Structure 1
Amino acid sequence: SHWAYAQIMEATVSHDYTNSGGEVWTRVETETTVLPDGYYRFDGWLYRVQSGVFLRSTTVDGFTYDAQGRYTTGSAALDEQLHQIIDTYTNAAMTRDEKLRALYNYVRDNFTYLRRDLISKGQTGWEPAYAEEFLELGRGNCYSFSATFCLLARQLGLPAYTVVGALGGSNSPHGWVEINLDGTTYMFDTQLEWRYLHDYGQGGYDLFMMLPSRTPFVYLR
């Protein structure tokens, strides 16, 4: 043990003692550490503290927490897949935005397009099923790309959500992700950037972290 362990304990821990041939502690007063409210990652899993306690078996702000307090998509298999992706493509030395970029690039560059059912405006809870299928098949539509990136961003503790809308003057159904970061809402479109980069061979579009007022395409909510 550390040479100063006894002295450190003596100085920092409130206690009563008797002294009969050596100090014997008879009472120890421990301190309770209260974590500030917010998101925390332990062993790669996301937790949230609210009013000084970990959320358990509840849903808050679109995030569901299981009985152990871990954020869950509702599918243990999908949770594990997302966990492994984040462990593989990010590290503790990265900033928040660097982690987001790494996960965005992962979704953009490792999958291809497959026509799937459209999602209706106002439809909720569809993201886990689309992400699971996307990760299993390696293919999917804009909703599949968006669902997967959205759930990865949520695993970072970011308030990501999918948007079901349309693109351009043709009013083509389309889905993308929006995240509020430091009070500003940004748009992320992994599938459309994939289309131009890998399908059309045009790498000039960067659809990561776009301001809604400065997008190269018309997005209709």
Structure 2
Amino acid sequence: MKKKSNRAIAFLLAIVMCLALMPVGSAGAVGDAMSMDSVKKLLNAEKLYPQKTGYVELDEMLEALAAPYAGKDTYTRIKAMYDWAVNNIDYSWDGYSQDYAPAYDCFTLTYPLTYETGLPEAYPKDMIYRAYHMLTARTGVCYDWGILFAVMARYVGIESYVHTGILRIGDWTGHHGWTELKLGGKNYIFDGQQDWRSKQNYGSIIYDHFGIPMSSSWRFSQETAANTLRDASLLPVTAERVRTANVTVHSSRSGQVEGGGVCLWGEETTLTSASELPVVGWYSADGALLSTEPEYTIVPKENMTVYALFEGDLFLDIGADAWYLDDVMEAAERGLAGGTSLAHFEPEGKMNRAMFATVLYRAEGGEATAEPAPLEDVKPGTWYTDAVNWAYESGVAYGVSETKFAPLANVTREQAATMMVRYVESRGISVAAEEADFADAARISDYARETLAKAQKMGLLSGYEDGTVRPQNTITRAEGVTLLMNTVRFLEAA
């Protein structure tokens, strides 16, 4: 009698220990899932619409999981994905800033994944990051299991969603997330996280949450509003995903281009003039010449930008209403100033000391010779050597020290005006002036006070609309060319 009593106590203790070790939210097989044969029949009756995520790293991992089952029936492929998620993921709130349900919006991890340019998005980024986390870190909570299997099922080609709501198991009730597959027009629950919990007790997957009809399950209560919004964020697997590329075309001021916009990926599209003027050059975003034909045919395999230069226009980046248009055009036609590329002027680009010496040298004719200046940073054979030597010898420009010219240093407005006045005076022309009439004249450096006053009086340099001259600002290319042309016209008039 005593042996029987001890055995009974031991048996009861074993049951208590099993119950104590059972994860929260699991009560073993609950019996509301369909038979595996019924699930198999439903899955194999579905027409598949495989849907890639579009994220290269994630799709490669999904393909690796699916590849061993290529050619198998849908049931076998879906079940293999489900088994992997149940067998390889552990429950953990790692990656979350809170560790309790329903804090699903507290997932904090992001990943630098590569997206296929031009492919319409099928998933919100949130789902992509969680699915990738599950496949790499192999941890997550119920909501993440729901997301991962939804992504897996869609990859195979089954319409699926991740839903949240309330789950009831015996006396236990709690917030939960799961996957639902649409089969035969109805939703069925596939809850990998709950089957993972059952597996902890039984040692293998018993599939008691594999194919539960949503319409007949009293244990799963939907959060209808949240789930409807979440479902709408997913592109249906039946939707056609046409890969496209955006072809942006910028025209020079005198014409317009026909073509471009949203184009089919990898298919020919032709750009041509939409006006009577012909296009004389097609350029890339970095200024490289692409074609000199009136029409340009491309096969876009990425988003791209093309620039069209029309007949009569010298630069692509100067609008018809630019205040410096006439000065830049005249300077270019005279050979005094060029662009930064074959088709770009970069009016807002900065001018350096070597550039400014060069435009003055060109104004002088570009042929004057001079002895090498005693400047250590002006080496023989550079594009600016002759110009700097000439400017130094003629007194137009001095070094920043006895041995340095700083050719690549930016030029301020007061420095540029000073060089121009010295250039005018080197031609034997001078005017008398004492003080410049600018609102910020007090900011002019001592060495430039007289030269800026002369520049203003000669009409070489004018102030801004607010009356300031902003002497310490670096001069832009547009401002520099305008100053140059004002100087050239002054000399011609004189």
Instruction: Verify the 8 A CA contact 1:171 1:220 in the aligned structure 2.
Output: no
Which residue of 1 is the match for residue 149 of structure 2? Answer: 149
SS at match of 2:104: coil
SS at match of 2:211: coil
Instruction: Verify the 8 A CA contact 1:109 1:194 in the aligned structure 2.
Output: yes
Distance 1:136 1:167, change over 3 A: same
Instruction: Verify the 8 A CA contact 1:101 1:208 in the aligned structure 2.
Output: no
Instruction: Verify the 8 A CA contact 1:159 1:180 in the aligned structure 2.
Output: yes
CA-atom RMSD in angstroms = 2.4
Residues 117-159 of structure 1: CA distance to partner in whole angstroms, max 9, x if unpaired? 4325xxx822211111111111111122111111110011111
**One-letter amino acid matched to 1:151:** V
Which residue of 1 is the match for residue 410 of structure 2? Answer: none
Instruction: Verify the 8 A CA contact 2:187 2:215 in the aligned structure 1.
Output: no
SS at match of 1:220: strand
Which residue of 1 is the match for residue 136 of structure 2? Answer: 136
Q: Which runs of 5+ in 1 are unaligned?
A: 1-37, 41-45, 47-70
Q: Which runs of 5+ in 2 are unaligned?
A: 1-46, 97-102, 106-122, 223-494
Q: Are 2:61 and 1:81 equivalent residues in the alignment?
A: yes
Question: Which structure dedicates a bigger proportion of its chain to helix?
Answer: 2
Which residue of 2 is the match for residue 220 of structure 1? Answer: 221
Instruction: Verify the 8 A CA contact 1:130 1:143 in the aligned structure 2.
Output: no
Measure, in 1, the Cα distance between the counterparts of 2:207 and 2:152.
Answer: 22
Which residue of 1 is the match for residue 158 of structure 2? Answer: 158
SS at match of 1:73: coil
Q: Which has the larger radius of gyration?
A: 2
Measure, in 2, the Cα distance between the counterparts of 1:165 and 1:152.
Answer: 21
**One-letter amino acid matched to 2:61:** Q
Q: What is the 5 A alignment of 1:38-53?
A: 46=50
Measure, in 2, the Cα distance between the counterparts of 1:173 and 1:104.
Answer: 22
Instruction: Verify the 8 A CA contact 1:131 1:148 in the aligned structure 2.
Output: yes
Equivalent residue in structure 2 for 1:99, among 64, 68, 77: 77
**One-letter amino acid matched to 1:83:** E
Distance 1:149 1:205, change over 3 A: closer
Aligned sequence identity (%): 26
Q: TM-score, normalised by structure 1?
A: 0.59
Question: Which structure dedicates a bigger proportion of its chain to strand?
Answer: 1
Q: What is the 5 A alignment of 1:17-32?
A: none
Deviation at 1:74, TM superposition (A): 4.3
> 1 or 2 for the larger relative contact order (CA 8 Å, sep ≥6)?
1
Measure, in 2, the Cα distance between the counterparts of 1:196 and 1:131.
Answer: 22
Q: TM-score, normalised by structure 2?
A: 0.28
SS at match of 1:193: helix
Deviation at 1:81, TM superposition (A): 0.8
**One-letter amino acid matched to 1:119:** Y
Which residue of 2 is the match for residue 108 of structure 1? Answer: 86
Which residue of 1 is the match for residue 190 of structure 2? Answer: 188
